[in-house]
Structure 1
Amino acid sequence: MIFPKSLAIILVAFADANAGPCRPSTSDTSGVMTTTVTGDIESTATVTTFPTDPTETSTTTATESDITTFSTITDQEITPTGTTTIVVRTTSGVPDGDSDQCARIPNPYTSDNGPEFELTCDRIWGTYDEIDTFYDTTFENCVNACNLRGVCSYVQFEGDSNSCIIIGDQYEDPLDQPGSFIARKKRPVFPDDGRRVRSF
């Protein structure tokens, strides 16, 4: 701070008046201003301040009970047991597979281990009970697998993927699907005397 010359003289005189035998030479300097006068023309005042007590920092420690854990629930596929799977199918375009495969199979087709199957070419069931599905197989294996399951009534063979669907029952008229075909198991009918007469 810059003081005029006259003010500097007053401050010096005030300092001399306070210095004497009746006054202590030392005093509490906490929070006081110390003034230093230099030169004849201007004075430089040095202000000495003492900082206050530092602000206390409050630290909070979170305990395990204070922490909330968020769990992410993902969708899970739940497969019920003892129920029937009902599949709804829609038709698609002409497949890339063997679309003429059905035409080359004898109709009706006699399986290796059981009854005959009646074929319907270029058709699939839209809604049905699915028992099992096989991939990369043949029609012959498909009907043989059906014969091993007493609840099997139809097989549906899809020529584009060579996949076989074992079907228990169907609920609608068949849909057009080039390259795929349905084979219905012809069940034997027995007369009262137990002799086999025909299939239906």
Structure 2
Amino acid sequence: MMNKHVLGLLFGGLLNACVPAMADSTYVIFRHGEKPAAGLGQLSCQGLNRALALPQVILSKYGQPAALFAPNPTVKKKDKGEPYYYIRPLATIEPLAIQTGLPVDIQWDMTQVKQLAASLLQQPDGVYAIAWEHHLAVQLAQALLQQAGGEAAQVPTWDDADFDSIYVVRRVATGSKVKVRFELDRQGLNAQSITCPLPYAQNNNAQTQ
């Protein structure tokens, strides 16, 4: 006859096998890189250098993303009162897309943060990296928390001079219970050069024909 100890181990193992595995999704939201004085919908040389350094930061902190997101660059945004195609977020996330071999999902308008949040929460478990406009990035983090049953009040305002913050929303589920929390992280990339990495670009105002 099988002893009680062995039966207990087997029974306990069967019970453990019935416990749902913990699911974990991380939404990594960052602002585009620095911009030129005139705006132009574009990055400055310092912003470009930040974008080039960003993949190492994201991958070392959060691991391989499942998908990447940026707002639709064909939608114009006013910079210094002039409307320009808003490509800063896409330009910022492109080096990460290239290094990870992933496409960038640009189906959402810059203002469609509630719709984006709803879509993100329906995705499989994984890490999702999102480059966005900073004021609307706050709304995106709030929408993720609110729609997942968390507290939107956790999300702080985003200072206009701050290009280094990372707003992180973590969603962890065990069985039918879901916990969601906000974390404030930093890239640590404020010391990037204001000179473009290309040898023919001498400063932020350098242009090519």
TM-score range with shorter-chain normalisation? under 0.3
Higher RCO (Cα < 8 Å, 6 or more apart): 2
TM-score (norm 2): 0.22
TM-score (norm 1): 0.23
Greater helix proportion:
2
Greater strand proportion:
1
Instruction: Specify the structure having the higher radius of gyration (Cα).
Output: 1
